[in-house]
Amino acid sequence: STFFSMGVRFQIFALLPLLCRGDVRQARCSACVAITDELVGAISREGEHMDIDLRGRLNSKGELEGGKVTKYAFSELRAIELLEAMCPPMMNYGFLEQEGRKYFQKVGGFDGPVTISGTMTLGGPQSQAEGQEVRNYCDRVVEENEEAFTEAIRQGAEGIDKRICIDLLEECSSVEEMDMGPPRQAMLDAKKIDC
């Protein structure tokens, strides 16, 4: 666990241009929560999958042999597909401040910058640059901890944010710290946006 967290702590410095000195811990936790939110979203969008048949030869009776049938839910293929789908959406994240707290929140994926209630603009060039930083962080974290992420996926979506952000990466110290940002999985409703 310490080995993984040291690598992640080194990689988080890519996010430092976005932060003030005292906000580093908050940013680490917030970036991790954003990554796990994307992973949970990818898991929830999964459709039904058949088992994976790894038997490759027919015996003299015409029956498959030489391997086994693996449940897709526990397969390496599933983990790889989920991990590959997890980081690209991070391009839609930016660093926001609300009530004195700074955190990463989904801000992109719109047809252009959007202003909410005349006080906060989501999207635009700054958000794109921040999104690229978060994407790079996500790619590095997943690459360095692929086996641990795979095991976390096999254990299921329930509590995966705690297993990754608190137990594995040690970016958050508690579930309460993880929940201090905006409402989790907040989605913007176009009817509530003042442009």
Q: Closest Cα to residue 169, out of 11, 39, 40?
A: 11
pLDDT at position 77 is: 87
Type of residue at 164? I
- pLDDT per residue as tens digits for the range 8-39: 444 444 444 444 444 677 888 888 998 999 99
pLDDT at position 120 is: 47
| Mean pLDDT of the 99-113 span | 66
- pLDDT per residue as tens digits for the range 40-86: 988 888 877 777 776 667 778 877 777 777 788 888 888 999 999 99
pLDDT at position 5 is: 42
- pLDDT per residue as tens digits for the range 151-178: 999 898 899 999 999 999 999 999 888 8
Mean pLDDT of the chain: 73
pTM of the shown model: 0.68
C-alpha 132/C-alpha 189 separation (Å) is 24
C-alpha 121/C-alpha 114 separation (Å) is 5
